[in-house]
Amino acid sequence: MKDCPKELPASCPIHTFLEILTRPWTMHILWALGSSGPLRFGELRRRVEGISSRVLTERLRSLESRRFIYRHYEATIPPAVTYGMTKRMEDIDKVFKQLAIVAAKWESEDSGDGPERGQVKHSAARRSRGTAPVKSPAPAQA
């Protein structure tokens, strides 16, 4: 693997990769296709709540040109266009699955009353007021 300096110049492979993935809606689209399999345009738009048809079309064209996804066109009436993940995206699908595990774990932690949640919330408030954080007492064990 090519090592890149910390500044991530444009010539670094990860720079281009991150630039593509961090565009608005791109990760949502890839997640929808990776978790659901091939989808037609309308279904994909419903699964990516809030995205406009114009932006979805732009992102799909960009992802297709980079060979992240494929576009299958059937000349029917009306035309059927299906989008899906390419073989090269199998690696990123593994990353998405790991991200889903982390997201579920964090959501579970955030919904509970564990000390991590309270401490983070209170520490952030203290930092904004300029006071030092105070550690939460350990929960009593029964």
Which DSSP helix (H) or strand (E) runs through 32?
helix 26-36
Question: How sure is the predictor about 94, in pLDDT bands with cuts at 50, 70 and 90?
Answer: confident
Neighbours of 7 (CB within 10 A): 7
Question: Over the stretch 25-74, which tens digit does the pLDDT of each residue have?
Answer: 999 999 999 999 999 999 999 999 999 999 999 999 999 999 999 999 99
Number of H helices, E strands in the chain: 6, 3
Residue 86: helix, strand or coil by DSSP?
Answer: coil
What CATH code is assigned to 13-129?
1.10.10.10
